[in-house]
Chains A and B, each alone.
Chain A
Amino acid sequence: MLGKRMVIDTSKCTACRGCMVACKQWHSLPAVDTEFTGSYTNPPDLTGADLTVIQFTEAEVAGKLRFLFFNNRCRHCEQPTCKAACPLKAIKRQLNGIVRINPDKCDPSLCSTEDVKPCQEACPFKMDGGSLSPIGIPKREYVKDGSPVSTVMRKCDFCYNRFTSLELKSTPFVSTDGKTKSALPACQVTCPPGAIMSGAADTMKRKAKKRVEYLKANGYPNANVYPAGLLTHVLWVLTEAPSVYGIVPA
């Protein structure tokens, strides 16, 4: 596959949520109102101000307790169905595989009269949110200081404008692992255990598969690469089957 790819290794993720905060900082998104509803996951799903959310799951698999952390976000499909569904042609797929919503073209009041917008309807990736109606990745709503807020559709944009930023490329900043430079996605730069990697699509696929082989041999026999079809520019290394994480099959 051509272009860029991100691999998120959930076996390394410690659920510190630095990625969620770094993403907000880079995109100038506010914190949203939440309450404790019985899980560390907050907010319960992606919002118009949360382009990535760590979803916590507890599960017992073959007698072993697992506390699983899934960094949920747009998969950046090789053939994005959201793009095809948008009547305003507001979704662009870059040559390098990054799928992004153009905020100047997106207008949820124009594209449809339904509450669930075409891109959300078309997106095959949902979380099993229990009482939440499972709608796709792009979101436009949240509550702030007691008031509901509505925006254009928002989702992870792979920090497409960090790669080309002259300012970021010139700073000597090096991340916790001693190698990661600034001109990369904000979540990747901030992640302390280096659970988020990005690079050339095929190289990243190989790294993901190699990690899965290591995990299978070292206590995690169900480790797998998700989505299994590998038709996306974001892949995850999971330690259990996707359904155990609460991921609804696409």
Chain B
Amino acid sequence: MTNHWVDLKNANVLLIMGSNAVENHPIASAHMWKAKDTNNATIIHVDPRFTRTSAKADIYAPIRSGTDIAFLGGMIRWAIEEWYNSGKTKYLNQKYIEDCTNGLFKVHASFETCRDTDHLGLFSGAVSGSNPAYTYNTTTWDYQYDTDTGTTPPIKRPFRATSLDDLTCVFQKLAEHYGVTFIGGTPPYADLSKRYDPDSPYSVASVEKICGTPAALFEQICEAYIGGTYADNKAGTMLYAMGWTQHTVGTQNIRCASILQSLLGNIGVAGSGIDALRGWHNVQGATDHGVLMHLLPGYLAAPPASADYSTLGTGPMDASNTYLKMQIPLAMDPDSPTPPQSAYWWGIFAGQYNRARYMVSLLKAWWPTDKSTLLPLDPQVSYSYLPKRAGDSSYLSLFNEMAKPAKPIKGLFVWGSNPMVMGPDQNLERSAMDNLDWLVVCDCFKTETAEFWNRPGGPGPVSIATEVYLLPGAVFMEKKGSASNSGRLIQWRDKAINPPGDAKDETEILADLGTAIQGLYSSSGLSKDLPIKNLNWPYDTTVLGSDLIEGVAKEENGYALVGFTTPTIAGATATYNAGDQIANFFHLDSTGKTACGNWLFCGTWQKPPAGAGGTGNMMKMRDPVDYHPYQIGIYHKWGYSWPINRRIIYNRAAVYQSTSGTKIMGQPLNPSKPVVWWDGTYYSFQDSGTATGSSTTTLIDTSKTWGTNAWVGKKVYISAGTGSGQERSITANDATTLTVSPAWVTVPGVGCSYTISGAKWNWNYNNVAKNPNTNPNDVIDGFGVNSPTVTLPFIMNREGVARLMGIKALADGPFPEHYEPWETPLTTNPLTNGAGPLSDPVVFSYGKIYASAGDPAYPYVCTTYRLTEHWHGGGFTRNCPTQCQLMPEPFIEISEELAAIKGISNGANVLVTSARGSITLKACVTKRFKPFVIDGVTRHQVGMPWHWGWKGVCSGASANVLTPFIGDVSTRIPETKVFLVNIQLAP
């Protein structure tokens, strides 16, 4: 989430789409009820099926599975039209668009949207191929640039137009792409004459045509969400999950939501956000620590095996391509060299590149030392030990390889996962497992995966050649450690009970396994074995202690390898001894002085006596007080939120970036729910202490070692003792003495307390400088000493603003476009009336079994989903008798209308067939599915939970026997949310 769970209470409208939040997050969704209680918030649920979430929503709208971009694109068009036709007073947050997004940036002269009649449904640069059907030359998906030759190297600066009406700017390209037209051909009067024309792309009528959502209901949602959240003092959040991601267009679904939220000023403020609801309590932690195949911990890129990435390098100035040069492209400050400028967080900060700090510190955590000489390893050498990715190891590609007759995958580890229930096209995946020489499963139960050979119709134990090992793991109460939730909040858990018998915490199993493997290589003299021999495994116990979990946590946080002093940051330095925990990722070092397993976790384990009970462990803090002065739910002393305990990311956008009329630079968009604000009367804390001496124009503290004149321009305030209440400007200082002006009225006494504060402009609330321990605001997003007029708000982007238009990305387009799912009942794309591609043209096909478009053998749209009562592959919950009582077996939910047509009564056995296989399920005939009318034709949709397999206290048919082996263009997440089936009464 860009925001966090507690923040939901601040929303005025919550749009739950691509999610069944109340069923799948029954406890966390209680935060939504606080929004209803305190704001009379409106909850909107858009879903193919009326669920337990819909039952609690204020507005429910049905949508055909796989048409979310048609819906969200329709909202974008509606918002832009209504903004123009309100005289630019309502329905968009114009100032936010101009100041915080790339809306004004001029676009490459040859860029063409999907509305260009030469290539409807495709962008400029389309190159036809075979698989994928198209790729793109992305040269035109870019800004117009000026080149600043006054810098070394020359920096390209995007041009800003002066008005959103400028036809060359991003905003106008966005409007054009989503079908907005103008009376007279140019702004500012939107032409509404085609709003109810179903052939007009992204019109209200096209949403009804493609999604099956009644037009009046769609407009009600537009008014409620767009009308209800565009204003500065209103906020809307979008809660989503697999219903948006598990599609061939999944990533573009999220992009579409992000664009809409950016148009409404719903990023960075309280109650807003793109709020992904993660699927279990620590999947956020799993992705944070780099479990995905293309990542290293902290979302650093795992390098591919290409020439560009063959060496680490040092940064963007490298003569040829290196990892750090590729990963640190230059900032692109728009307009001119003068501020506001892009903070571009990956780049230069206090003399080093941040990206280099994080990557080098990671390498120093994993390969700090040459074990044969005991000398420190050069990070360039450590980088050479890092395996480079050859090809794509996404879940689908992995099983695709595994299935090959040549059996290229010999062995597989499966940790706490049940692919034999949760992966798509189970007939393919289950027989792929038969090809393995060996399999190691670590789990708490004998799952379907652990006994894949014993599946119904499987080879059985005698003929299966795979050697299978089952390692008993520990259940969540039987181990301690951190868990990161959807809101990036990391909470430490204690162990409640020991695992039974030989079962162990998986971290222990991994540690033992790694140690044993390393031992097997100990006598090798081969250089290719050095990555294993020199691996710091499991971590440095002499420095970090012998407690495995705490030691790993401390390594994740990062520690000093040698004694060093940081560069001066905000007027201060920090000094570390070897072995000290690093306080925050500002202090990580790219020259080899620090080790850090995960830069995002830097700050989670401080040097004692900080942290819970003086342990240093910040993740264990449990202070249940909301110290934020406006009670927006920051709770900064409960757990630790990455990065650096920030709760709402992009929060620089929560204040005005510039002054226009009554909107004052630095003031919050919502004065009753501000997150942070920049105000002339408040000060940033720099340092404090107790005076040892003074004179009429000085203050002395002999315990300090300040840099000469480091405090010039700052303020010193006497907070207690003789002379308290006085504040003076500092005109000079040496190591121990401040010179102030004007002179003291009352000379401060020896032993008085003082505070040194930063520039007059500051992000923190009144009294922070005078009371440094409370710091009750949210942590400002980057460069707290810089006002909005100096630093642009979206600090992670090269151009410092949010992107309404993608730059040379994503692979299938800089704007999301509606494409049908891979298996669709339609034969032509209704958005382009058949002129453009039916499905996403950049999808990579694995060449497996798919139904053809509009295949009459499989006329019904099918989706899969989860229930409150079971979790995921059911390894856990289907071994729990109470859960089996509540939901004993899987079922197919069928509308009353379709059931009547097929002669299926409630509870009857139904044979469900897709192109890949068939299963038998009990019928749940329900009012909660209704037939859709899509482009004038009645189309039926059905759905089923997918938790079941053949093992456990309650077993049953696996829905994933039916689902297609095809994935999202960018992530390869399987499209298990929409495919085609047929149903009939089981014989």
Q: Give the complex CA separation of A17 and B924 in angstroms.
A: 19
**Chain A interface residue number, banded:** 35 or more
Q: Is A63 an interface residue (CB 8 A)?
A: no
Interface size on B, residues (CB 8 A): 37
Query: Is B907 a contact partner of A36 (Cβ separation < 8 A)?
Result: yes
Q: Give the complex CA separation of A33 and B887 in angstroms.
A: 10
Q: Give the complex CA separation of A163 and B22 in angstroms.
A: 30
Q: Give the complex CA separation of A60 and B906 in angstroms.
A: 18
Query: Is A65 a contact partner of B927 (Cβ separation < 8 A)?
Result: yes
Q: Give the complex CA separation of A235 and B906 in angstroms.
A: 32
One of A30, A42, A65 near B50 (C-beta < 8 A): A65
Q: Is B388 an interface residue (CB 8 A)?
A: no
One of B26, B56, B885, B927 near A18 (C-beta < 8 A): B26
Given A36-B889, A36-B922, A193 contacting B868 (CB threshold 8 A): no
Query: Is A14 a contact partner of B884 (Cβ separation < 8 A)?
Result: no
Residue of B nearest to A29 (CB): B882
Given A14-B56, A69-B55, A38 contacting B26 (CB threshold 8 A): no
Given A31-B881, A65-B928, A20 contacting B55 (CB threshold 8 A): no
Query: Is A17 a contact partner of B886 (Cβ separation < 8 A)?
Result: yes
One of A34, A40, A58, A69 near B927 (C-beta < 8 A): A58
Residue picked from A43, A58, A67, most chain B C-beta under 10 Å? A67
Q: Is A12 an interface residue (CB 8 A)?
A: yes
List A contacts of B23 (CB < 8 A): 14, 16
One of B33, B51, B868, B891 near A12 (C-beta < 8 A): B33
List B contacts of A30 (CB < 8 A): 881
Query: Is A34 a contact partner of B868 (Cβ separation < 8 A)?
Result: no
Residue of A nearest to B891 (CB): A36
A2-53 residues at the B interface, CB under 8 angstroms: 12, 14-18, 20-21, 24, 30-40, 42-43
Given A66-B55, A69-B55, A192-B26, A36 contacting B924 (CB threshold 8 A): yes
**Min CB–CB distance A47 → chain B (angstroms):** 10
Query: Is A42 a contact partner of B885 (Cβ separation < 8 A)?
Result: yes
List B contacts of A58 (CB < 8 A): 926-928
Q: Is B27 an interface residue (CB 8 A)?
A: yes
B871-897 residues at the A interface, CB under 8 angstroms: 881-882, 884-891
List A contacts of B868 (CB < 8 A): 14-17
Q: Is A194 an interface residue (CB 8 A)?
A: yes
One of A33, A39, A60, A219 near B58 (C-beta < 8 A): A219
Query: Is A176 a contact partner of B928 (Cβ separation < 8 A)?
Result: no
Query: Is B922 a contact partner of A32 (Cβ separation < 8 A)?
Result: no
A175-218 residues at the B interface, CB under 8 angstroms: 176-178, 192-194
List A contacts of B881 (CB < 8 A): 30-31
Residue picked from A14, A59, A65, A176, most chain B C-beta under 10 Å? A14
**Min CB–CB distance B958 → chain A (angstroms):** 16
List A contacts of B890 (CB < 8 A): 36
List B contacts of A17 (CB < 8 A): 868-869, 886
Query: Is A192 a contact partner of B889 (Cβ separation < 8 A)?
Result: no
Query: Is B924 a contact partner of A38 (Cβ separation < 8 A)?
Result: yes
One of A32, A39, A67 near B52 (C-beta < 8 A): A67
List B contacts of A38 (CB < 8 A): 906-907, 922-925
Q: Give the complex CA separation of A65 and B56 in angstroms.
A: 12
Given A34-B885, A36-B888, A58-B927, A14 contacting B50 (CB threshold 8 A): no
Q: Give the complex CA separation of A12 and B51 in angstroms.
A: 14
Given A30-B881, A65-B928, A194 contacting B52 (CB threshold 8 A): no
Q: Give the complex CA separation of A20 and B881 in angstroms.
A: 13
A65-94 residues at the B interface, CB under 8 angstroms: 65-69
Residue of B nearest to A17 (CB): B886
B573-608 residues at the A interface, CB under 8 angstroms: none
Query: Is A67 a contact partner of B886 (Cβ separation < 8 A)?
Result: no
Q: Is B986 an interface residue (CB 8 A)?
A: no
Query: Is B927 a contact partner of A60 (Cβ separation < 8 A)?
Result: yes
**Min CB–CB distance B622 → chain A (angstroms):** 11
Query: Is A67 a contact partner of B26 (Cβ separation < 8 A)?
Result: no
Q: Is B29 an interface residue (CB 8 A)?
A: yes
Q: Give the complex CA separation of A56 and B922 in angstroms.
A: 18
List A contacts of B60 (CB < 8 A): 65
Q: Give the complex CA separation of A59 and B896 in angstroms.
A: 13
Q: Give the complex CA separation of A16 and B30 in angstroms.
A: 12
Residue of A nearest to B888 (CB): A34
Q: Give the complex CA separation of A17 and B30 in angstroms.
A: 15
Q: Is B54 an interface residue (CB 8 A)?
A: yes
List B contacts of A194 (CB < 8 A): 30, 33
List B contacts of A42 (CB < 8 A): 885-888
Given A35-B888, A58-B926, A14 contacting B22 (CB threshold 8 A): yes
**Min CB–CB distance A72 → chain B (angstroms):** 15
**Min CB–CB distance B292 → chain A (angstroms):** 30
Query: Is B907 a contact partner of A15 (Cβ separation < 8 A)?
Result: no
Q: Give the complex CA separation of A38 and B888 in angstroms.
A: 12
List A contacts of B869 (CB < 8 A): 17
**Min CB–CB distance B931 → chain A (angstroms):** 14
Query: Is A14 a contact partner of B29 (Cβ separation < 8 A)?
Result: yes
Q: Give the complex CA separation of A67 and B928 in angstroms.
A: 8
Residue of B nearest to A178 (CB): B624
Residue of A nearest to B921 (CB): A36
Query: Is A192 a contact partner of B906 (Cβ separation < 8 A)?
Result: no
Query: Is A31 a contact partner of B56 (Cβ separation < 8 A)?
Result: no
**Min CB–CB distance B892 → chain A (angstroms):** 10
Q: Give the complex CA separation of A12 and B22 in angstroms.
A: 11
Q: Give the complex CA separation of A103 and B889 in angstroms.
A: 34
**Min CB–CB distance B625 → chain A (angstroms):** 11
Given A24-B882, A65-B50, A35 contacting B889 (CB threshold 8 A): yes
Q: Give the complex CA separation of A58 and B49 in angstroms.
A: 13
**Min CB–CB distance B979 → chain A (angstroms):** 23
List B contacts of A35 (CB < 8 A): 888-889
Query: Is A31 a contact partner of B928 (Cβ separation < 8 A)?
Result: no
Q: Give the complex CA separation of A59 and B885 in angstroms.
A: 25
Query: Is A67 a contact partner of B54 (Cβ separation < 8 A)?
Result: yes
Q: Give the complex CA separation of A177 and B884 in angstroms.
A: 28
B42-64 residues at the A interface, CB under 8 angstroms: 50-52, 54-56, 58, 60
Q: Give the complex CA separation of A13 and B586 in angstroms.
A: 46
Residue of B nearest to A12 (CB): B33
List A contacts of B33 (CB < 8 A): 12, 193-194
Query: Is B54 a contact partner of A192 (Cβ separation < 8 A)?
Result: no
Residue of A nearest to B26 (CB): A16
Residue of B nearest to A25 (CB): B882
List B contacts of A21 (CB < 8 A): 882, 886
Query: Is A14 a contact partner of B907 (Cβ separation < 8 A)?
Result: no
Q: Give the complex CA separation of A219 and B925 in angstroms.
A: 27
**Min CB–CB distance A14 → chain B (angstroms):** 5
List B contacts of A219 (CB < 8 A): 58
Question: 1/0 per position for B288-309, CB-CB distance to A under 8 A?
Answer: 0000000000000000000000
Question: 1/0 per position for B261-276, CB-CB distance to A under 8 A?
Answer: 0000000000000000
Question: 1/0 per position for B936-949, CB-CB distance to A under 8 A?
Answer: 00000000000000
Query: Is B30 a contact partner of A31 (Cβ separation < 8 A)?
Result: no
**Min CB–CB distance A166 → chain B (angstroms):** 22
Q: Give the complex CA separation of A20 and B624 in angstroms.
A: 29
Q: Give the complex CA separation of A193 and B52 in angstroms.
A: 13
Question: What is the interface of chain B, defined by CB distance below 8 A to chain A?
Answer: 22-23, 26-27, 29-30, 33, 50-52, 54-56, 58, 60, 624, 868-869, 881-882, 884-891, 906-907, 922-928
11 contacts between A and B (CB under 8 A): A14-B23, A21-B886, A31-B885, A32-B885, A33-B888, A34-B886, A38-B907, A38-B925, A58-B928, A65-B50, A219-B58
> Which 8 pairs from chain A and chain B are nearest by CB?
A38-B906, A31-B881, A38-B907, A67-B55, A16-B26, A31-B885, A192-B27, A31-B882
Question: What is the interface of chain A, defined by CB distance below 8 A to chain B?
Answer: 12, 14-18, 20-21, 24, 30-40, 42-43, 58-60, 65-69, 176-178, 192-194, 219
Q: Apart from A14-B56, A17-B868, what are 16 other A-B pairs with CB-CB below 8 Å?
A: A20-B882, A31-B882, A31-B884, A35-B888, A38-B925, A42-B886, A43-B885, A60-B927, A65-B927, A65-B928, A176-B27, A177-B30, A178-B624, A192-B26, A192-B30, A219-B58
